[in-house]
Chains A and B, each alone.
Chain A
Amino acid sequence: MLIGAESVLSALVDGVLIGSIYSLIAMGLALIWGIMDVINFAQGDYMMLGAFLTYWLYVLAGIDPLLSIPLSFATVFVMGVITQKAVIDRILDAPMVSQITATFAVLLIIRYGAEVVFGPYTRRLTVSYLSEVLRFGPIVVPMNRLVAFLVSIVVTAVLFLFLKMTYTGIALRAVSQNREAAYLMGINVSRMYWIAFGIGVGISAIGGTLLATFYPIHPEMAAFFTLLAFIIVVFGGFGSVFGAYISGIIIGVTESVSALFISPTLKDVVAFLLFIIVILVKPTGLFGKEQ
């Protein structure tokens, strides 16, 4: 069977759109990793919380998923701050194994807490205007994915400007580069930690909100996304937020194109292979700084 140019183009577009959501989850992970030097295994579970929040707000209160974006961010931001103060703060200087165990415990609490509260059911959120399909010539673009893509661009731009232009953003980057010197500059480092963790998981929750408009919602939906976020962050260069955005899209495109050319069941395998190749060739990742 020959594969037409239209389907390739559609696959590319689809990859960019889905990849942009991967990017949101990965950027949060990269932010936390870069600033706190902590690997947050629960990253995808905060995304799941965002997805459920959006679902219930729509079902119970009729709130449009797009309007729930700020609510989703704010709620999960606060939950992140609580996690940071209650758990992460105590393990910042602990050995890596303890850190991994602690964030893994957070993962279990959130994931199975959600399962107890929401039940082990898969839910779908259907909003009529988001279910429409747009046609640009031969390319078919689902409205919900296009919206997700546009929102992810806005979120990334806001994050970028925040890190670049504000005193707090500059202080966050300063902490990631030299913790001790940051203290000496008068930066309240523990404050930077909860801000970083809150924003990091909050962005992930926005990803969950966007995902909820076209992806089945389930308490255990996070596993695949967390794994993917890891590869994306390593692929883009440890702790590089910008690198995470670009490589999220690269991974998305790799998946959708290989689903088309090889097999949908093997698309993740191809993405992981690409990841392994890049790491072999450039161990610091695509946009990583030399150590």
Chain B
Amino acid sequence: MSLLEVKGIDVFYGEIQALWGVTFSVEKGTITSILGANGAGKTTTLKTISGLLIPRRGTIKLNGEDITKEEPHKRVEMGIAHVPEGRGLFPRLTVLENLKAAAYTKRAREKFHDTLEIVYNHFPILKERKDQLAGTLSGGEQQMLAIARGLIQRPLLLMLDEPSLGLAPKLVMEVFLLTKRLKEEGYTILLVEQNVYQALRLSDMAYILEIGRIVRKGTGEELLGDEAVKRAYLGL
């Protein structure tokens, strides 16, 4: 059984349809990517999985359990962490308070102190800056804090929405390396990226989204070799 199963979801903003029968699954312990251009519906897909949007048709299952209509906070309690595009930090809370805000669920709070140690090991800079307001961190540090909050939630599924967006090239590489390291530690990751080449290199499975529809799927390697993907996204 897949950890996450998304089946035929249609999602609307008002009367405007954004997703058309989107179907995919995420296997435990893998990195799965949803790739595509701006406006293809990648963020919409993640928002539907985390419950900020409710699909008009279709189902979403976590570990076989139907969560299509579940409230967002209950989904977090069940193990879905969504690190949103633009990071979604609380700028006037300190770094530590941001992490505590992510430990609001029972699931996360019980293990908060252990998880905090793990998170500080990953991101020593956050320990140094724990009493600093999140809004005063640099872009790279803010992205680390956003991912750190995701880890604090003790997720079964960690969803990263454009983690490389707006970062300097060196930091972009760091984020991708981190994603890979997290997988090695046993996390299951659903990655949304515009940076198609880098994402495909570390994906076990990838889906290409175009104006609300999945148009291609395959392993990272397969899609790296796919002529259409090369032409459209890799500039080759």
Contact = CB atoms under 8 A, between A and B. Distances in A.
Interface of A: 167, 170-171, 173-174, 177-178, 180-189, 289
Contacts of A174: 90, 93, 97-98, 101
Interface stretch (B28-36, B102-110, B196-204, B213-221): B102-110
B50 interface: yes
Nearest to B150: A184
Contacts, number: 74
A166 to B, nearest CB: 9
B24 to A, nearest CB: 21
* In the A-B complex, the 6 residue pairs with the closest CB atoms: A186-B76, A181-B88, A186-B105, A183-B72, A174-B101, A177-B90
Chain B interface residue bracket vs A? 20 to 34
Nearest to B102: A185
B104 to A, nearest CB: 5
A178 B88 contact: yes
A289 B52 contact: no
Identify which of A171, A181, A182, A187 gathers the most chain B CB atoms within 10 Å of its CB: A181
Given A174-B101, A186-B105, A181 B84 contact: yes
A186 B108 contact: yes
A170 B88 contact: no
Nearest to B101: A174
Contacts of B73: 183, 186-189
Given A167-B109, A170-B97, A184 B84 contact: yes
A105 to B, nearest CB: 29
Contacts of B42: none
Contacts of B98: 174
Contacts of A177: 90-93
Contacts of B102: 185-186
5 contacts: A170-B104, A177-B92, A183-B50, A184-B81, A184-B83
Contact of A180 (B71, B81, B84): B84
B19 to A, nearest CB: 19
Given A183-B72, A184-B72, A188-B73, A167 B104 contact: yes
Interface of B: 50-52, 71-73, 76-77, 81-84, 88-93, 97-98, 100-105, 107-109, 149, 153
A170 B83 CA distance: 19
B93 A173 contact: yes
A182 B101 contact: yes
Contacts of B105: 186
Given A178-B88, A180-B88, A185 B149 contact: yes
In this complex, the member of A167, A170, A182, A188 whose beta carbon has the largest number of chain B beta carbons within 10 angstroms is A170
Contacts of A189: 73
Nearest to A289: B92
Contact of A170 (B71, B100, B149): B100
B51 A183 contact: yes
A173 B108 contact: no
Contact of A184 (B50, B77, B103, B107): B50
B104 A178 contact: no
B101 A171 contact: yes
A181 B145 CA distance: 13
Which one of A173, A178, A186 has the highest number of Cβ atoms from chain B below 10 Å of its Cβ? A186
B93 A185 contact: no
A146 to B, nearest CB: 34
A189 B52 CA distance: 12
A189 B71 CA distance: 10
B81 to A, nearest CB: 8
Nearest to B146: A181
Contacts of A178: 88-90
Contacts of A188: 71, 73, 104
B93 to A, nearest CB: 6
Contacts of B91: 177
Contacts of B72: 183-184, 186
A184 B92 CA distance: 18
